């Protein structure tokens, strides 16, 4: 009996240790994926069985927003918990501009590394203007022990990219498709963590479905009826390929997302096979809304993203450019198959991850996110939240301030130009700025206070 008691106590202590240990974190942040681009968010054609299963096993957010309608600012906000303009990353970062995420910012990777986590970014970085140039802060300067991937976008296409770096070293041409390459690298890194017994933070940032697109034949074949004639890849990173700029239909775009889903599924399967599933917090989202068939740049040709019917697209501050899918799976903590309409934003993921891992939440700077953990138990968040977005746009609609159901859009001179009630008018058809003077005044006061806070932020680069 004594022997049995000892075994039972050992099992109890082992269970307690697993329950109270800090979870591993897998953060998947896709590139240009639209709110309506997944089966679990209503797309009638694109097959995404692995991401759909992730949603079935976790919490699906239906009013989640990217911090910006472009990649670099959203990624800066995701990793720092601070609205992009506080970090100095106001738009996407062109090559050789000397714009980068400054070292005074504290990232998720740095804070989790303090907790003993192994940290890696695999995929897209795009928080400096020259990946591999030590004159600018690199992933290793922002808390990542390991980095493997590209910067702005894959060149010449998703196939055989020539701009991949490992820990700052340029690798030349890497054979394969980016979705597979990054999944392979992720799985190898996860196996290494298992061998070394370390908790991990893996920031997996797929290239998909950002153009330029190219896919394995078997995935293109799945959607051949949606392609008009042969698929001709449109390379980027060189001279403009005028002769290849033809509208070939959405089949290639659909195939690109299914390719991404397949390889994300491989990473999730590896999590299971390595025994990590029950103690791994998995978060999936996108950096901004999609490139729709309303192309405004030549390199966007043959992107056919879906906003789920919302107005606008990437580059703009209407709902279609900002509202993105978000899924959280955390066994034993999140009810499988749950759905929340709570308002949330990318900076919330920073705060949520830190609280779930018991990592330090910085108190020496302004953070713009809240902890989403109450949603895990079906509890509400505060209904008095406000949201701020800023982005230089070609339409001179550069700022948004939202509180509750009301969304105010301002031009580059901070003048209010449009007002929408998103509860009554979720598609932003009816501009009510001329009939709601009191609402406009209230929102303008909130916008001004937020803008002043950003301008006076002691960490904001000059």
Three-state DSSP at 421 gives strand
pLDDT at 2 over 50: no
Dist. CA 282–CA 28, nearest whole Å:
8
- CA distances, 262 to each of 109, 362, 423 (Å): 26, 37, 36
Dist. CA 408–CA 102, nearest whole Å:
30
CATH of the domain at 406: 3.30.1120.10
Specify whether 309 is located in the same domain as 424: no
Specify whether 337 is located in the same domain as 407: no
**What's the pLDDT band for 384 if we cut at 50, 70, 90?**
confident
Neighbours of 216 (CB within 10 A): 16
Is residue 324 classed exposed, middle or buried when 0-12, 13-18 and 19+ CB atoms within 10 A define those classes? buried
Dist. CA 37–CA 43, nearest whole Å:
6
Average pLDDT over residues 124-146: 97
Beta-bridge partner residues of 25: 201, 281
Dist. CA 263–CA 280, nearest whole Å:
18
pLDDT at 321 over 70: yes
Is 4 domain-assigned? no
User: Are 281 and 24 in contact, with CB atoms under 8 Å apart?
Assistant: yes
Give me the pLDDT at residue 226, please.
Answer: 98
For the chain, give the mean pLDDT: 95
Average pLDDT over residues 240-247: 96
Tokens for 167, please give them.
Answer: 């820990």
Looking at the chain, the whole-number percentage of residues with pLDDT higher than 90 is: 94
**What's the pLDDT band for 17 if we cut at 50, 70, 90?**
very low
Is 2 domain-assigned? no
Cβ contacts of residue 81 below 8 Å, gap of 6+? Answer: 347, 350, 351, 354, 362, 367, 368, 369
The CA-based angle 65-71-77, given to 5 degrees, is 60
Residue with tokens 């009638």: 44
Is 390 domain-assigned? no
Q: How many domains does the chain have?
A: 2
Tokens for 325, please give them.
Answer: 């899918």
Domain limits at 404? 396-455
409-423 pLDDT, tens digit per residue, is 999 999 999 999 999
Q: What DSSP string describes 196-224?
A: HT--EEEEEE--TTSSSP---HHHHHHTG
User: Are 386 and 446 in contact, with CB atoms under 8 Å apart?
Assistant: yes
HSE, CB side, 13 Å, CA atoms: give it for residue 55: 19
CATH of the domain at 145: 3.40.720.10
Specify whether 400 is located in the same domain as 379: no
Active site residues: 71, 126
Specify whether 362 is located in the same domain as 450: no
Q: What DSSP string describes 144-189?
A: -SEEEEESSS-SS-SBS-S--EETTEE-----SBHHHHHHHHHHHH
Specify whether 228 is located in the same domain as 289: yes
Specify whether 432 is located in the same domain as 301: no
User: Are 117 and 189 in contact, with CB atoms under 8 Å apart?
Assistant: no
**What's the pLDDT band for 308 if we cut at 50, 70, 90?**
very high
Give me the pLDDT at residue 15, please.
Answer: 39
């Amino acid at each position: 009996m004594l022997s049995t008691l000892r075994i039972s106590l050992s099992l109890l202590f082992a269970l307690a240790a697993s329950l109270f240990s800090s979870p591993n974190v897998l953060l998947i942040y896709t590139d240009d994926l639209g709110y309506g681009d997944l089966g679990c968010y209503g797309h009638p054609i694109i097959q995404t069985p692995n991401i759909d299963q992730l949603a079935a096993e976790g919490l699906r957010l239906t009013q989640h927003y990217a911090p910006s309608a472009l990649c670099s600012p959203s990624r800066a906000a995701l990793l720092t918990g601070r609205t992009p303009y506080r970090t100095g990353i106001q738009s996407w970062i062109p090559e050789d501009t000397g714009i980068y995420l400054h070292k005074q910012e504290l990232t998720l990777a740095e804070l989790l590394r303090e907790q003993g986590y192994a940290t890696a970014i695999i995929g897209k970085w795009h928080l400096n203007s020259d990946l591999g140039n030590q004159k600018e802060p690199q992933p290793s300067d922002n808390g990542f022990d390991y980095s493997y991937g590209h910067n702005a976008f894959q060149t010449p296409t998703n196939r055989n990219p020539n701009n991949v770096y490992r820990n700052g070293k340029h690798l030349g041409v890497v054979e394969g498709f980016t979705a597979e390459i990054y999944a392979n690298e992720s799985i190898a890194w996860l196996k290494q963590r298992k061998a070394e017994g370390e908790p991990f933070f893996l920031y997996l940032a797929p290239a998909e479905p950002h153009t330029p697109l190219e896919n394995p034949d078997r995935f293109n074949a799945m959607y051949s009826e949606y392609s008009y004639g042969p698929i001709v890849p449109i390379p980027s990173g060189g001279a403009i390929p005028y002769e290849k700029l033809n509208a070939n239909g959405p089949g290639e775009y659909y195939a690109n997302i299914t390719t991404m889903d397949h390889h994300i599924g491989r990473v999730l399967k590896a999590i299971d096979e390595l025994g990590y599933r029950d103690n791994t917090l998995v978060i999936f989202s996108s950096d901004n809304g999609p490139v729709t068939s309303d192309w405004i740049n030549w390199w966007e040709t043959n992107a056919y993203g879906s906003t789920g019917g919302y107005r606008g697209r990437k580059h703009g501050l209407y709902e279609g450019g900002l509202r993105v899918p978000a899924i959280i799976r955390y066994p034993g903590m999140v009810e499988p198959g749950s759905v929340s309409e709570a308002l949330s934003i990318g900076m919330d993921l920073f705060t949520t991850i830190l609280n779930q891992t018991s990592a330090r939440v910085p108190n020496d700077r302004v953070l713009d996110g809240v902890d989403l953990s109450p949603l895990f138990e079906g509890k509400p968040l505060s209904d008095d939240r406000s949201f701020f977005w800023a982005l230089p746009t070609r339409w001179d609609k550069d700022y948004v301030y939202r509180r509750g159901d009301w969304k105010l859009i301002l031009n580059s001179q901070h003048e209010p130009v449009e007002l929408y009630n998103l509860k009554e008018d979720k598609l932003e058809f009816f501009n009510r700025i001329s009939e709601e003077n009191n609402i406009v005044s209230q929102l303008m006061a909130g916008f001004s206070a937020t803008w002043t806070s950003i301008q006076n932020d002691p960490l904001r680069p000059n």
